[in-house]
Amino acid sequence: MRIATWNVNSVRARSGRIVDWMEREDIDVLAMQEIKCKPEQFPAQVFEDAGYDLAIHGLSQWNGVAFASREPMTDVVTAFPNMPGFLKGAVGPDQPLEARALGVTVNDLRLWSLYVPNGRALGDPHYAYKLAWLKALETHAAEELSRHPALALAMMGDWNVAPRDEDMGDPSFVPGQSTHISPEERAAFDAFEQAGLADVVRPIVPEGFTFWDYKQLRFPRNEGMRIDFILGSPAFADLVTDASIHRNERKGDAPSDHVPVLVDLDLGGDDDDRPMIF
């Protein structure tokens, strides 16, 4: 099985390009972030014509997450326990939840498409929201794996954290002054390892960015960031046979500012009919 994650930065603007890539790469399940539309606005027909079922969670023209899968999806949820919300200018608990998380089960794999809050600026209320959001997600992951140690769980998407120095190549991000690289954000990301999840792509693809800003010729200069990840439980990691970052999808007409991150899984008994390459 081939699973990928991609912050598509508006699915309505790029549906043809997304589906072309999925068909070309023989993707079985794609987790999407920043779809930027409500379910009724999603360009479903082009995905369905290509043989994909959809699970969509979008509330407005901002944020939004989705799955496209060739296999049936069950146990669909649009939030994890104690997920915090956010409303600019508001204080206290019970803020409205944003469309940033979508969980599904496919072939006994528990998969999440996640769009972690950006944080905006150190000291901004959105930064505190980001840290609280990550903590609640990490707590959920730890509790799930404590209850079900053999669960093949993958949390994937745009994490908006560059966890290592080599993951940040954008010179506008300055230590001590910028989000994405603060000690608190990196500690929040590292806590997922303590919860039982590991980056299943980095051991196979140790280098490479997944995001380049549209401004300042960031892509031609390769001034990007590695902020899109697939974190998997031990049971999920044991299934991974290969991984890749599809840098070329940042090229061409109207690309997203992110590129797909992909893993191949050996579920046992799969009849892999992809052509052999010698």
User: In which element (H, E) is residue 9 found?
Assistant: none
Q: To the nearest whole percent, how much of the chain has pLDDT over 70?
A: 96
Asked if 197 and 190 count as a contact pair (C-beta separation under 8 A), the reply is: no
The string of pLDDT tens digits covering residues 43-58 is 999 999 999 999 999 9
Q: What CA–CA distance (Å, rounded) separates 262 from 244? A: 5
The string of pLDDT tens digits covering residues 9-20 is 999 999 999 999
**What is the pLDDT, as a whole number, of residue 274?**
44
Q: What is the pTM of this model?
A: 0.95
**What is the pLDDT, as a whole number, of residue 100?**
98
Q: Has domain 2-265 been given CATH number 3.60.10.10?
A: yes
Q: To the nearest whole percent, how much of the chain has pLDDT over 90?
A: 94
Q: What CA–CA distance (Å, rounded) separates 185 from 206? A: 21
Among 4-8, 54-58, 89-93, 240-244, the least confident range: 89-93
**What is the pLDDT, as a whole number, of residue 269?**
61
Per-residue pLDDT band at 90 (split at 50, 70, 90): confident
Q: Decide: helix, strand or coil at residue 167.
A: helix
**What is the pLDDT, as a whole number, of residue 160?**
98
Domain residue ranges in the chain: 2-265
**What is the pLDDT, as a whole number, of residue 89?**
84
The string of pLDDT tens digits covering residues 194-233 is 999 999 999 999 999 999 999 999 999 999 999 999 999 9
Max Cα-Cα span within the chain = 60
pLDDT > 70? residue 145 = yes
pLDDT > 60? residue 275 = no
**What is the pLDDT, as a whole number, of residue 93?**
79
Write down the mean pLDDT value for the chain.
95
Asked if 66 and 7 count as a contact pair (C-beta separation under 8 A), the reply is: no
pLDDT > 50? residue 250 = yes
Per-residue pLDDT band at 119 (split at 50, 70, 90): very high
How many Cα atoms occupy the beta-carbon half-sphere of 160 within 13 Å? Answer: 21
